[in-house]
Amino acid sequence: MLNIPTDRSMFSDGYAPHKYMKEFVDNDVFTELQTSWPDASLFKDDGNVKPRKHGQRPHLRKLMCYAVTPQSSYFDPYMVELSSLPTIWRDFAFHVMHSKEYREFIGDCFQIKNFNMRFDWHLTGSGKDVSPHVDSLGKEGSHLMYFMPDGWTDDMGGQTVFYKYKLIAANNPEADDFKDKVMYKNTGNTSLLFKNQEGGWHGVTEVNSTLDRQIFNVVILKA
């Protein structure tokens, strides 16, 4: 199901270390996963009108989660059973969770031995973005796999962005409050692995489409 690279290097240059990959998922499997995206009824609204820590804007999206290890109670409302998912997604999630090769790949890229995983599915609608932020200390990193719906084009937004050289002291910056950024396409069979670290600012550009941004996120958590 997965085409795991032999190259375990990560790009940094002052950004959060990351690795952009094409066809990490077998193309046939990718197509079936994309066309069998879980039903919207399984997702619940994530985020609220209250700012995040440091006064950052809330992340408004729809969320669904699966995990086999204990999680923060925050995620309880979003948890689903694999049995509620389409067959291809049940098989894919089980494979990723239990693949020795995938765990070795993550461990080598992040230079860690022990970690847990949680799976998050996101739906993000038009007009929504994710303001620049650094992930919580409990995260080792994330592996974003993009499953944009048919008809999605680059100008519809929803791209992951990494930032560096923050120009203000406050920790609730906007995209224009950084000197430099690097951004990655989310079209086609693509994915983006990145390591959480101090100063690892990242966000998502605004979605500009009647279609929803669809991603599967393997959240790598400290054991």
CATH number (domain holding residue 214): 2.60.120.620
pLDDT of 47: 64
Q: Is there a domain that residue 94 lies in?
A: yes
**Rg, the chain, Cα only:** 17
Q: Is there a domain that residue 9 lies in?
A: no
Q: Is there a domain that residue 10 lies in?
A: no
Closest residue by Cα to residue 69 from 99, 114, 26: 114
How many domains in the chain?
A: 1
Q: Is there a domain that residue 62 lies in?
A: yes
Measured distance CA(54)–CA(47) in Å, rounded? 15
Estimate the crossing angle of helix 27-35 against helix 87-98, to 10 degrees: 130
Q: Is there a domain that residue 78 lies in?
A: yes
Mean pLDDT in each 10-residue stretch from start to end of the chain (223 residues)?
A: 96 96 98 97 78 65 94 93 96 97 98 96 92 92 97 96 96 94 96 96 95 97 95
On whether the pTM is more than 0.75, the answer is yes
Q: Is there a domain that residue 142 lies in?
A: yes
Structural domain containing residue 111: 18-222
